[in-house]
Structure 1
Amino acid sequence: MIMIYSDNPQKIFFYHYVEEIISNYGSFFNSVLKDNDMTIKELSVLLRIRFDDITTQHDLVDVFNVSGAYIAKLLKKFEGNEYIKREEDPKNRRKKIVKLTEKGIEKTDELIKVIGDWENEVTSDLTDDEIIILKNILFKIINKED
């Protein structure tokens, strides 16, 4: 819980709110998925693969701002767990398109449920209208044109 300027939430930087939200989600995630074989970051990559129409290893490096070696190692792990498969890109044979398998879809369904449960918990004191406003504001913040 944020203690800095707790008497005036307007004085708190967005950064502090984001930090607290991430910490809260991490704690919730770890308590619900104690026996999970992946980290939150790894599951974030798996979710990105699920929701992007076409994803390549290079795309994942760019989106997550991590090394190619890290993504290569992670995709190898996902293949070993049968969560993904790689297919040749018909437009560029040197690129591989990354897609979820049925097992990967099941794994991401599990995560989507956890995310939904967490979101319901942290917004339980908000009205439906407040949730809509919050999501619209967050959407506007992350989609700001540079």
Structure 2
Amino acid sequence: MDNEIFQAITKNSPFIAWIHNISLNQQKYIKSKFKDLNLGHDVRYIMFIYDNPNCSQEDLVNMFSQSKGNIAKSLKKLEDLGYIIRETDPNNRRKYMLNTTEKGNDLVPKFRKISKEWEKEVGITDSDDELRERIREIAINGMKLVEEE
């Protein structure tokens, strides 16, 4: 493979550029496996909702650092496609609880399988648990830093 293609990924590149590149390429890979679904990055919202039943739109805004408008637009799309359902929170009628539908529940294991295949192909192994935890800590610290401002 031509090394010029990868010239932007150098030892002097900022760490975050590498993380961004990894994320984009994983999304491209997954998108290629789910071409017929046309979900793109929105699949991450399905995953979050699946893992956090009864979460709110605000939870997604905070987790993904997206605007309320962008999240609302994505949720509307996912609801129209039948992946999620929004129900009024009985404790706060102005708030919605988000949950995956059967269609969303069926997608999650398929997505995780493809994601795991990608990790294997790029060289992420089970022995990388320490690295995963460190990157998770960095992500959490970054979220806290932004919250404090």
| TM-score, structure 1 as length reference | 0.79
Tell me the matched-pair count: 139
The within-5 A match list for 1:115-126 is 115-123=115-123
- TM-score, structure 2 normalization: 0.77
Which residue matches 1:97?
97
Aligned-partner Cα distance in 2 for 1:102–1:81: 12
Match of 1:142? 139
Per the alignment, residue 83 of structure 1 pairs with: 83
CA 1:105/1:22 → structure 2, altered by over 3 Å: closer, same or farther? same
Q: Which runs of 4+ in 1 moved over 6 A?
A: none
1: distance between equivalents of 2:70 and 2:135? 29
**2:30 corresponds to 1:26:** no
Distance 1:98 1:4, change over 3 A: closer
Residue of structure 1 in register with 2:54 after alignment? 54
Query: C-alpha displacement at 1:67, in angstroms?
Result: 3.0
Give % identity: 30
CA contact (8 A) 1:2 1:20 kept: no
- How far the C-alpha of 1:21 sits from its partner, in A, is 0.8
CA 77–27 in structure 1, closer or farther in 2 if over 3 Å, else same: closer
Take 1:48 and 1:101, find their aligned partners in 2: how far apart are those partners? 13
Q: Please report how far the alpha carbon of residue 25 of structure 1 lies from its aligned counterpart in structure 2 after TM superposition.
A: 1.0
CA distance in 2, matches of 1:5, 1:33: 27
Letter in 2 for 1:27: K
- For the residues of structure 2 that align with 1:5 and 1:25, how far apart are their CA atoms? 16
Q: What secondary structure, in the 3-state scheme, does the structure 1 residue paired with 2:37 have?
A: coil
Q: CA RMSD in A?
A: 2.3
Greater helix share, structure number: 2
Structure 2 unaligned regions, length at least 5? none
2:35 is paired with a residue whose SS is coil
State the 1:58 CA deviation. Answer: 2.4
Q: Deviations over 1:20-65 (max 9, x none)?
A: 21232133223322222211x2111111111124311222223223
